[in-house]
Copies of this chain bind each other. A is one copy, B any other.
Amino acid sequence: MTFAFALAATNGAARAGTLLTAHGPIETPVFMPVGTAGTVKAMTADAVRATGAAIVLGNTYHLMLRPGAERVAALGGLHRFTDWPGPILTDSGGFQVMSLAKLRKIDADGVTFQSHIDGSRHRLTPARSIQIQHLLDATITMALDECTPFPATHEQARASLDLTTRWAALSPAAFVPRPGYGLFGIVQGSTYPDLRAGHAAALAAIGFDGYAIGGLAVGEGQPAMFAAIEATVPHLPADRPRYLMGVGTPDDLLGAVARGIDMFDCVIPTRGGRTARAFTSWGVANLRNARFAGDARPLDPGCRCPACTRHTRAYLHHLFRAGEMLGPMLLTWHNLTYYQDLMRGLRAAIVQRRLHAHIEAVRAGWAACGEIA
């Protein structure tokens, strides 16, 4: 079993492919639900499977603090722990150390920080991050990076990127190769095209099983994000998967797939599911809105999820107004189903070489009655 990526079709810059892993195949473009602390929030593993998800995320930062990587390993790894035998990608911890940890201190060899849970002191180095991900039994391991803050001057972005390159260069040696397991590097460079291009080339020279684009969707806006993708993609090996980290809205996914991205993760559908924000074929809507109180229609008439096939908009509205957990449960299930079906539609359109027309049709649907997002 190799960690192989095969392209099935291209349409402009967009690609449809298949990634073969030790834990099963992944058809791309793919959206990966976020399972930060060993669970996709408000979803059983069976429910995640029912949405059609092929791979889920786990978080090195959260899991190393609680329940601990060694504990997860003793319990048989993250697949058994979470009832998810399929592929799992774990992030390196770099992003969460920057956004969540207290008193973090970065040096040339790694980062020392205090847990946001109990204040305990921890250290992550490129080797320790990879070791933790090995203990978790991650199918796809991410090399430790420094997620460059936004905004950053060219000089700041350059310095940050150099640290990530240094850490990336140490990563392949720390990774224990196993058939069907892969190691990805993370391209930084903020919104500077020259830095993005240069860093992509630098990582490609090191050689990874896949390449992520990090440090985007952090406030730069969609046009700047798309520009950064366009500056990066041509410098990545065409025969390796490309993963845009932490993105995004449905419209972000359309634009990024059209620009050659194969993989995505984002909390938007799951967080939205807990805050009554529904993503549908007719647009985005907040189910707490009074206009849904008596609405006997299914949330999204064409959707196959239980929220849509079993219930009315009025019921979902009621659940959120009453503060019932079933509201987040059903809407998370719907949103993830919508994201999966959106990606499946994009893949089919790429294979049939009609991506542009398909994207126009999806956008026309969104304009029908919801807010635009």
A360→B294 CA distance, assembly (Å): 52
Interface 0/1 of A318-342, CB less than 8 Å to B = 1101101110111000000000000
- A103 CB to closest chain B CB (Å) equals 22
A312 contacts B by Cβ under 8 Å: yes
Interface 0/1 of A294-319, CB less than 8 Å to B = 10100000000010001110110111
Contact A75 B324 (CB under 8 A): no
A284 contacts B by Cβ under 8 Å: no
A326's nearest neighbour on chain B, judged by CB, is: B39
Contact A311 B43 (CB under 8 A): no
Contact B294 A83 (CB under 8 A): no
A327's nearest neighbour on chain B, judged by CB, is: B39
A41's nearest neighbour on chain B, judged by CB, is: B325
Of A13-21, A66-74, A170-178, the segment with at least 4 beta carbons within 8 Å of chain B is A66-74
Q: Which residues of B contact A71 (CB under 8 A)?
A: 293-294, 314
Q: Which residues of B contact A306 (CB under 8 A)?
A: 44, 46, 83
Point out which of A42, A71, A318 has the most chain B C-beta atoms below 10 A from its C-beta.
Answer: A318
Contact B37 A315 (CB under 8 A): no
Contact A330 B66 (CB under 8 A): no
Interface members, chain A 1-58 (any B CB < 8 Å): 37-39, 41-46
Contact A315 B44 (CB under 8 A): no
Tally of this chain's copies: 2
A317→B76 CA distance, assembly (Å): 16
A66's nearest neighbour on chain B, judged by CB, is: B322
A315's nearest neighbour on chain B, judged by CB, is: B81
A82 contacts B by Cβ under 8 Å: yes
Q: Which residues of B contact A66 (CB under 8 A)?
A: 318, 321-322
Q: Which residues of B contact A311 (CB under 8 A)?
A: 81, 83
Q: A314-B67, A318-B67 are in contact. Are A326 and B42 (CB under 8 A)?
A: yes
Contact A325 B325 (CB under 8 A): yes
Contact A315 B42 (CB under 8 A): no
Q: Which of B294, B322, B329 contacts A325 (CB 8 A)?
A: B329
A residues neighboring B (CB under 8 Å): 37-39, 41-46, 62, 66-67, 71, 74-76, 81-83, 293-294, 296, 306, 310-312, 314-315, 317-319, 321-322, 324-326, 328-330
